[in-house]
Structure 1
Amino acid sequence: MEKLKMHSPDLSQENIAKIRELFPGCVTEARDEKTGKLRLAVDFDQLRQELSDHIVEGPQERYRLDWPGKREALALANAPIAKALRPCHEESVDFNNTQNLFIEGDNLEALKLIQETYLGQIKIIFIDPPYNTGGDFIYNDDFSEGYEDFLVSSNQRNSIGERLVANQETNGRFHSDWLSMVYPRLRLARQLLRDDGVIFISIDDGEAGNLRKVCDEVFGEENLIANVVWQKKYTRANDARWFSDNHDHILCYAKQKIGMTLNLLPRNESQLSAYSNPDNHPKGPWKATPLHAKSGTNTSPFKFKNGVTWAPPAGTFRRFNDASMREMDENNEVWFGADGTQTPSRKSFLSEVKDGVSPVTIWPYDEVGHNHEANNELKSLGLGGLFNNPKPSRLIQRMLELATSPNRADIILDFFAGSSTTAHSVMLQNAADGGSRRFIMVQLDEATNEKSEAFRAGFKTISAVSRERIRRAGKKILEGDCHPDWNRDVGFRVLKVDTSNMKDVYYRPDEVKQSDLLDMVDNVKEGRTAEDLLFQVLIDWGVDLTLPIRRETVQGKTVFFVDDNALVACFDRGITEDLVKELAGHEPLRVVFRDNGFVTDAVKINVEQIFRQLSPTTEVKAI
């Protein structure tokens, strides 16, 4: 019986597999020095022959962004991890029914763990990563450098400390650390986006240039949609040394720009007020628009039926040909002013224009909120003063309006959740339009400062504050006016990143010594529950982590039914042939048992044959 791998995917191996599809002769198998197992490997000599005219190597100049640590960051993104997501009922809200997730732990590990489950399924990613203030990052990923190491790796000193450049750039270390932190996370994020998905990234001027170059590499320069400027403050800081910093950038990239569209924004009251109907035209409200354009070829005059002759102003051209002009004139769709003597204009009717307006790249605070509004939102929930410069929910709601639909269960991911403004915004938007959007929040269990308001309020970690914000926001939203079609899902299922549920023997059985055999009879760690094992199996098999889970007792054994028959799992010992036959009768898509859970070796051997007879489409595996 085949065993589940119980670790995140090895993206390097997946990339090599893609190369094999294009150049099968350039990929071979080699034995891994650490595990002794066969792995795919690239024959670079053969690949060079295939691409001999298109290779850039060595010190040859090329257009790219480099920094000390980039190679390690890329390797980190691709490397698999043997970790687990453990469910936590007591910190969840409506665990059994909600479609939302809150993952506590390092977001790089979380992104790796959900790769197979949500590959190509996320519609929007919004992240507000920590801005580079020239200090150390809590997301250091074990390869951030000290000052002396940076001077060597950036070729400013050699290995014995001799200076290689006249002016040493020490600040580059912090840029390098920041880029090494964000780069692998963006690479994993792209994998999760749908083909029509988009990512919004909030950043200040300090790293906006570097972030854009990184995103060009990860998502492709051709997939940049916009660099939005958000007016985050509405007051001027007169004590600023140079300029009052009143904006942030929001970079927006598509996974595949060709073929994807953004929604139009609804017209606001000011835009609607431009339309009126002073002449009671049967088509309804209209506004006057010019008959001329900046480009074209036709500059000839046109005579209307009222005797007025019009020609485009100097340097401009007619927007419409004679036939169109005559049709507008006959249908009373040309406006000559209230007195009938003014320069003619076309009547553009509200009923004939698009249902909304195109977004612009400047988002003023009166449309999408500002930092002070965001603080007031937290205060209204009893959580004021706990975060510096939080984002207002209206800002994220603007993104949801542009890139999601209430008619689809779009998934929104934020892996720098912070105060969980994104989750709050998703619930607000669903309550407003009856949508069924879902959220996945990821937040590190970073300790709060002992001198902070959060600590004094009893919150020991940022993730605890983040979850409490969702609880309070959800309760408040339900107390207000909600769209009748909304499913009123304000819950979230909490999963926590932890070490694997499996002992090392599961991954490296060849390294077990004979003296260790008694300790290795069970390959599951002490203290891990059957539900812990279930969620690691869901991750390994790529099953949605929010599916309903039903626990039943069948023939005296605990059996989990995930979404009825999407997956059936039994991790008890003493499994009999009769139990196997009964589970096969449910015809599940997948079934999993504990490898040493069968009453006899004969039963274990017969499991696959039983399913082949009673439920041939079931995939059978063990842990």
Structure 2
Amino acid sequence: MPFLDWVNKNQAKASTDEVPYHLLQQVKTYGEPSENLLIQGDNLLALKALLPFYAGQVKCIFIDPPYNTMSAFVHYDDKLEHSQWLSMVYPRLVLLRELLAENGSIWVTIDDNEAHYLKVLMDEVFGRTNFSANCLWEKVYSERMDARGFSTSHDHILVYQKSSKFSPNQLAKEQNSSQFNCWDDKAQKFYRRRSLRKEGSESRRQDRPSMWYPILAPDESQVWPVKPDGTEGRWRWKEANCIANKHELDFIQRNDKWEIYVKQYLEENPTRPPATLWLNQEVGHNHEAKLEIQALNNMDVFDTPKPERLLQRILEIATKPSDLVLDSFLGSGTTAAVAHKMGRRYIGIEMGEHAKTHCIPRLEKVIEGEQGGISETVGWNGGGGFSFCKLGEPAFDAEGHINPGIKFPTLAAFVWHFETGEPTKKSFETPCLGVKDGVAYYLLYNGILGDRRPAGGNVLTRPVLEILDEYFPHDGPKVIYGETSRIGESRLAAEQITFRQIPYDIKVR
């Protein structure tokens, strides 16, 4: 597979591992207590801070990164040189991949300036076989008459899955029930007829020779897909399908000739697969998005919002209620607002001050039951809540010392994630963090064994090991983190213990 190369690519790849871990500091809760988070801070640092708690848990990621259009933006520095833009995007994509669930998907909006480079870059990060679709969103409703050359009407939405476990949801479709005027006694359903003979383009015999074959009519005569003008056509179905699904065929005799139809049944909840062309009549356009923001904050309209209907379509395809949604370029807060109204859990990350001036007020109005955007469509009447957080201090300083503000459960979450790649699913209250693949993991820190002296209980000694064996026994390999060990290497080997010193072994790993 070809790879994209640019100046300082190796530095960009290495920067992912070098991103320091920061603590998340909860500032205030709005509305009812919930799992929803709005984080103000650099999204690269925030994504790394989320890893120990959310790795592999996010069902849908939507991001609308700066487009690198070489034009001035009030809220973003979008005027980046091409290689700088790629170096900005790459480490963020790597961390987003780690947060994505195995059956999850990531959706990225971008225009033609970087779309094709981004496609190759995402092939590298997510794997080319995990490319799902390139959806085209019609972002305007008319041409720009002042455009020089072409008037651009669309943006790209690149869709990648974490693995083959991702399956897009079907979308609802309308059926005109008046057209379904035939009744099937066996199926107990109304249906309409659709010609089995292919019509329109590629409907000739030479277009699909294998689709030219006879079908036996009720009177045992042979019916061929001959067009009304007498030329040879073809069937829609393969011969094996006709044999296997003959009960779905209708034979109608007109003017001494048999015509064959496929039964299309009237469904109670008809669906269709999602298409890749998204017209603005269906999912909104840029002007609609700005009007939505104006209704919420007419003093300072955000430059590049996305319409709520666009995010609604994405979440309909990619998620179900209670799934976790992440947007690390939250902007004006559209993703969080739509997720809130649709009953999804969400995490939104925004660096600028408009995390406070735009996102918080918008989500407060959502909680109050505002009726803009998709509210009426989804029956939104208010409720719920979210927590506003900021990035706190680094978990480890430049010398490798642990931040004194880190408590045992937080460091335990880091250790568990480092060792297993999994997020924490519980509140750690004992030195035994859990067992993964037959290996038990322990952490001696912050006086977890009851000794509240600064280094009390943080050192692996024979008495401490006896306590661990008595109260948290494990018959198999153990990994024990602590300040230092005073047990010899031979004893550690005999007990199947791997000792790791904190904080150094954490930072190295």
> Match of 1:292, as an amino acid?
R
1:69 paired to 2:8: yes
* Contact preservation (8 Å) 2:134, 2:157: yes
Q: Shift of residue 190 of structure 1?
A: 1.1
Q: Shift of residue 347 of structure 1?
A: 2.1
Q: For residues 428 and 341 of structure 1, do their structure 2 counterparts lie closer, same or farther at Cα, with a shift above 3 Å needed?
A: farther
> Match of 1:421, as an amino acid?
T
CA distance in 1, matches of 2:334, 2:183: 46
* Residue in 2 that maps onto 1:593: 446
Q: Shift of residue 134 of structure 1?
A: 2.3
CA distance in 1, matches of 2:243, 2:15: 64
CA distance in 1, matches of 2:451, 2:241: 83
* Residue in 2 that maps onto 1:468: 361
CA distance in 1, matches of 2:114, 2:281: 26
Q: Shift of residue 82 of structure 1?
A: 4.4
Alignment equivalent of 2:190, drawn from 285, 291, 303: 285
- The alignment partner of 1:117 has SS state of helix
* Residue in 2 that maps onto 1:51: none
* Residue in 2 that maps onto 1:26: none
* Contact preservation (8 Å) 2:22, 2:48: no
* Contact preservation (8 Å) 1:375, 1:384: no
Q: TM-score, normalised by structure 2?
A: 0.73
Q: For residues 566 and 602 of structure 1, do their structure 2 counterparts lie closer, same or farther at Cα, with a shift above 3 Å needed?
A: closer
* Contact preservation (8 Å) 2:183, 2:191: no
Q: For residues 600 and 86 of structure 1, do their structure 2 counterparts lie closer, same or farther at Cα, with a shift above 3 Å needed?
A: closer
- The alignment partner of 2:342 has SS state of helix
Which deviates the most, 490-499 or 199-208? 490-499
CA distance in 1, matches of 2:216, 2:265: 23
* Residue in 1 that maps onto 2:98: 191
* Residue in 2 that maps onto 1:262: 168
* Residue in 1 that maps onto 2:111: 204
> Structure 2 matches for 1:481-492, cutoff 5 A?
490-492=384-386
> Match of 1:74, as an amino acid?
K
* Contact preservation (8 Å) 1:113, 1:539: no
> Match of 2:341, as an amino acid?
L
* Residue in 2 that maps onto 1:333: 250
* Residue in 2 that maps onto 1:221: 128
Q: Shift of residue 602 of structure 1?
A: 6.9
- The alignment partner of 1:598 has SS state of coil
> Match of 2:139, as an amino acid?
K
Q: For residues 489 and 217 of structure 1, do their structure 2 counterparts lie closer, same or farther at Cα, with a shift above 3 Å needed?
A: farther
- Please provide the CA RMSD for this pair: 4.3
* Residue in 2 that maps onto 1:311: 224
* Residue in 2 that maps onto 1:425: 338
Alignment equivalent of 1:299, drawn from 187, 212, 219: 212
Deviations 1:508-531 (A, max 9, x none): 59xxxxxxxxxxxxx63xxx6xxx
- The alignment partner of 1:209 has SS state of helix
- The alignment partner of 2:361 has SS state of helix
Alignment equivalent of 1:567, drawn from 418, 428, 435: 428
Q: For residues 501 and 223 of structure 1, do their structure 2 counterparts lie closer, same or farther at Cα, with a shift above 3 Å needed?
A: closer
Which deviates the most, 275-284 or 66-75? 275-284
Q: Shift of residue 391 of structure 1?
A: 0.7
Q: Shift of residue 467 of structure 1?
A: 2.1
Point out where structure 1 has 5 or more consecutive residues left out of the alignment. 1-61, 145-170, 431-436, 448-460, 510-522, 544-561, 571-588
* Residue in 1 that maps onto 2:435: none
**Identical counterparts, % of pairs:** 31
CA distance in 1, matches of 2:377, 2:481: 44
Point out where structure 2 has 5 or more consecutive residues left out of the alignment. 199-206, 227-231, 418-423, 432-441, 484-501, 503-509
Q: Shift of residue 469 of structure 1?
A: 1.3
> Match of 2:263, as an amino acid?
K
* Contact preservation (8 Å) 1:88, 1:494: yes
> Match of 1:115, as an amino acid?
L
CA distance in 2, matches of 1:204, 1:252: 14
Alignment equivalent of 2:350, drawn from 425, 438, 443: 443
CA distance in 2, matches of 1:189, 1:496: 19
Q: For residues 237 and 324 of structure 1, do their structure 2 counterparts lie closer, same or farther at Cα, with a shift above 3 Å needed?
A: closer
1:117 paired to 2:53: yes
Q: For residues 231 and 259 of structure 1, do their structure 2 counterparts lie closer, same or farther at Cα, with a shift above 3 Å needed?
A: same
1:242 paired to 2:160: no
Q: Shift of residue 76 of structure 1?
A: 0.8
Q: TM-score, normalised by structure 1?
A: 0.61
Q: Shift of residue 251 of structure 1?
A: 0.4
* Residue in 1 that maps onto 2:388: 494
* Contact preservation (8 Å) 2:133, 2:159: yes
* Contact preservation (8 Å) 1:301, 1:311: yes
Q: For residues 534 and 488 of structure 1, do their structure 2 counterparts lie closer, same or farther at Cα, with a shift above 3 Å needed?
A: farther
> Structure 2 matches for 1:395-414, cutoff 5 A?
395-406=310-321, 409-414=322-327
CA distance in 2, matches of 1:253, 1:463: 31
CA distance in 2, matches of 1:254, 1:601: 46
Aligned residues: 442
Q: For residues 234 and 136 of structure 1, do their structure 2 counterparts lie closer, same or farther at Cα, with a shift above 3 Å needed?
A: closer
Q: For residues 375 and 534 of structure 1, do their structure 2 counterparts lie closer, same or farther at Cα, with a shift above 3 Å needed?
A: farther
1:133 paired to 2:69: yes
CA distance in 2, matches of 1:111, 1:598: 33
Deviations 1:352-385 (A, max 9, x none): 9x95111111011111111222223223334575
- The alignment partner of 1:285 has SS state of strand
Q: Shift of residue 240 of structure 1?
A: 1.5
> Structure 2 matches for 1:38-57, cutoff 5 A?
none
* Residue in 1 that maps onto 2:229: none
Q: For residues 600 and 116 of structure 1, do their structure 2 counterparts lie closer, same or farther at Cα, with a shift above 3 Å needed?
A: closer
* Contact preservation (8 Å) 2:93, 2:125: yes
